[in-house]
Amino acid sequence: MATFMDQAKDFVADKIAHMEKPSADLTWVQIKDVSRKAVTLKSDVTVTNPYDHDLPVVEISYRLRSNNREITSGTVGDPGSVPANANTVMEVVSDVSPSFLFNLMKDIGADWDIDYDFDVGVKLNLPIIGSFTIPLHKKGCLKLPTLSDLF
């Protein structure tokens, strides 16, 4: 009987290991809006659902850093669900105080951009398995607008 249970465990483990899993992709960080009160940053997360039923996204957590300093972080709670056998784009938006940009002047001064590390975790609720987080990471360069861009 023990060998039958071991064979069953191996069979299930093999099936789960080769089962298609949800995936996600992250776009570059962009400046969505600039005002005197805040700079609004935006990035899109594309979640792919390979299953025959909708897949709920519990939350999207994010952290944006530059020169080992955190620019912004937070979570997007209950962003919705991904329809069956489809891709869905979910927006991650965060406000940054313009005064924080002055703290990054050493990085900004040379080339008028901010080098960043962007970490995102997409937390899904998978049937049978439960909560599952897809970690995403993007390194890039955020070009800042010039005065001519603003006016």
User: Domain with 131 in it: what CATH number?
Assistant: 2.60.40.1820
Does residue 2 form part of some domain?
Answer: no
Containing structural domain, residue 105:
22-150
Q: Name which of 138, 147, 122 is nearest 58 in CA terms.
A: 122
Does residue 64 form part of some domain?
Answer: yes
Does residue 7 form part of some domain?
Answer: no
How would you class 24 by CB atoms within 10 Å of its CB: exposed for 0-12, middle for 13-18, buried for 19 or more? buried
For the question of whether the overall pTM of this predicted structure is more than 0.85, the answer is no
Does residue 8 form part of some domain?
Answer: no
Interatomic CA distance for residues 112 and 45, integer angstroms: 26
Interatomic CA distance for residues 23 and 16, integer angstroms: 15
pLDDT value of residue 141: 83
Q: Considering the chain, what percentage of its residues have pLDDT values greater than 70?
A: 81
Q: For residue 13, what pLDDT band results from cuts at 50, 70 and 90?
A: low
Cβ-proximal residues to 122 (8 Å cutoff; 6+ apart), any chain? 24, 45, 47, 57, 60, 133, 134, 136
